[in-house]
Copies of this chain bind each other. A is one copy, B any other.
Amino acid sequence: MADYREMWENLNMDLEKHDVLCEALPEMFGETFLNQENRPDGMNYFNYVTAEIHGARIMELEKHRKEGGKVVGAFCVFVPDEIILAADAISVGLCSGSQFWIEDGEKVLPRNLCPLIKALTGAKVSSTCPYFQSCDILVGETTCDGKKKVWEILNEYTPVHVMELPQMKREENYEMWMNEIKLFMDKIEELTGNKITVEKLKEAIELNNEKRRALKRLYDLRKNKPSPISGLDSLLISQIAFSDEPRRFTEKVNELCDELEEKVKTNTSTNKKRIMVTGTPMALPNWKLHSIVEELNAEIVVEETCTGTRYFENEVSTNGDTMEELIKNMADRYLDINCACFTPNKGRVEDILRYAEEYDVDGVIYYNLSFCHTYAVEYNNVEKSLRDNNIPVLMIETDYSEEDSGQIKTRVEAFLEMI
């Protein structure tokens, strides 16, 4: 810990404030995760990563930076990690999942804004997120009104490069997106001083695809009845995916999957209701909905969210031997993500219906972070399609505070009884 304090100090962190955060996390983690019965041994690695979330991983980032490497902070599944990796830079997710940062966020932002964006901003302006402090650059995107405007504020602290994500999915939008990827590549080459070659890029694509395959393998295992892993544990892994070293992460997920494959052979059935969560992302340490649901007689078996299937579904093709072809492959893969930021976004409804069948769910919880307009408005459409297919759905709109936890529990309980 002594080492960390010095490191944090060098990162210009507000140590006193950060201590408050560090004190709260272990208890919260213990209560939420460690009391679960019959946890796989393979979760030990992810427990360790969580315990060391502001320590060991930051040490690695700082070591990389001391050796001349760069750290790139991103905040969205649309930012193509492959580019960052191919330039020998490290890509990290940014702090945004805790109520702890809301108060500071609200000092510069309106209260009527989604907690993810308020926490993101609060984490930076309060200097209590070592990931933010380690970043040489932030990569923003234009996925929603709140984020789009917040980059202007964050840019006063750390340089921000904004990628303009198209708002539609017509042919011209794929071309636009290819152009954005090229501009991003120029920026990262300039930042790192490293040239991204076809070979390096292919290698990075393959590395990322392996990570996607490992997560897909984990999710496929959750299709078993019962799932050999809790929704909570699976969510934690997805959250860690955004910041961990990708090779090690992939190896650890695969080791866990080996264990889970054995486990399903001796699994005995339960009467737990199988739930899909669909909607907005859950950044570390936002475990609120999962912990409420899984304390009841239910298991979350799939998340159609950015901290779920949207993160790993579909691979980037490695076909082609030119930069142009690889960029097109990336544009195709990323723009095919069915985020509510697109209009229209019919693919998302199709995904939800397909997952409902594949994971054999009893019901769907539509999770909306307060004031997230795109997902909130899209509920109308999703609800209609689920109703047409006789799949029960419950809408939960919430933020990071614990105030409404009791009420959510009551509503989920009633929902589980009904389905």
Chain A residues within 8 Å of B, Cβ to Cβ: 108-110, 112-113, 142, 144-146, 148-153, 155, 162, 164, 166-168, 172-173, 176, 179, 340-341, 343-345, 370-371, 373-374, 376-381, 397
| B380 x A153 contact (CB < 8 A) | yes
| Residue on B nearest A180 in the bound complex, by CB | B172
Shortest CB–CB separation between residue A386 and chain B, in angstroms? 16
| B370 x A112 contact (CB < 8 A) | yes
| B376 x A110 contact (CB < 8 A) | yes
Bound-state Cα–Cα, A257 to B162, Å: 45
Shortest CB–CB separation between residue A116 and chain B, in angstroms? 13
Cβ-defined partner of A377 (8 Å) among B153, B164, B377: B153
| Beyond A112-B397, A145-B374, A152-B345, 13 additional pairs, beta carbon < 8 A | A110-B376, A110-B397, A112-B370, A146-B377, A149-B340, A149-B343, A149-B377, A152-B343, A153-B380, A164-B168, A167-B167, A371-B371, A373-B373
Bound-state Cα–Cα, A380 to B153, Å: 8
Bound-state Cα–Cα, A288 to B274, Å: 50
| A144 x B142 contact (CB < 8 A) | no
| A145 x B142 contact (CB < 8 A) | no
Shortest CB–CB separation between residue A114 and chain B, in angstroms? 9
Q: Which 6 A-B pairs have the closest CB atoms?
A: A149-B377, A145-B373, A110-B376, A142-B167, A145-B145, A145-B374
| A148 contact set on B, CB distance < 8 A | 167, 341, 343, 374
Shortest CB–CB separation between residue A75 and chain B, in angstroms? 14
| B166 x A373 contact (CB < 8 A) | no
What are 19 A-to-B residue pairs whose CB atoms are below 8 Å?
A110-B373, A112-B112, A112-B371, A112-B376, A142-B168, A144-B145, A145-B145, A145-B373, A148-B167, A148-B341, A148-B374, A149-B373, A152-B345, A155-B344, A162-B343, A164-B168, A164-B173, A167-B167, A373-B373
| A113 contact set on B, CB distance < 8 A | 373, 376-377
Bound-state Cα–Cα, A186 to B149, Å: 33
| Residue on B nearest A109 in the bound complex, by CB | B377
Shortest CB–CB separation between residue A340 and chain B, in angstroms? 7
Bound-state Cα–Cα, A176 to B168, Å: 13
| A151 contact set on B, CB distance < 8 A | 343
Scoring A145, A153, A176 by chain B CB atoms within 10 A of each residue's CB, the highest score goes to A145
Shortest CB–CB separation between residue A19 and chain B, in angstroms? 28
| A168 x B162 contact (CB < 8 A) | yes
Bound-state Cα–Cα, A109 to B167, Å: 20
Shortest CB–CB separation between residue A233 and chain B, in angstroms? 32
Bound-state Cα–Cα, A144 to B145, Å: 6
Shortest CB–CB separation between residue A179 and chain B, in angstroms? 6
Cβ-defined partner of A380 (8 Å) among B108, B145, B341: B108
Bound-state Cα–Cα, A380 to B110, Å: 9
| A172 contact set on B, CB distance < 8 A | 176, 179
| A371 contact set on B, CB distance < 8 A | 112, 371, 373
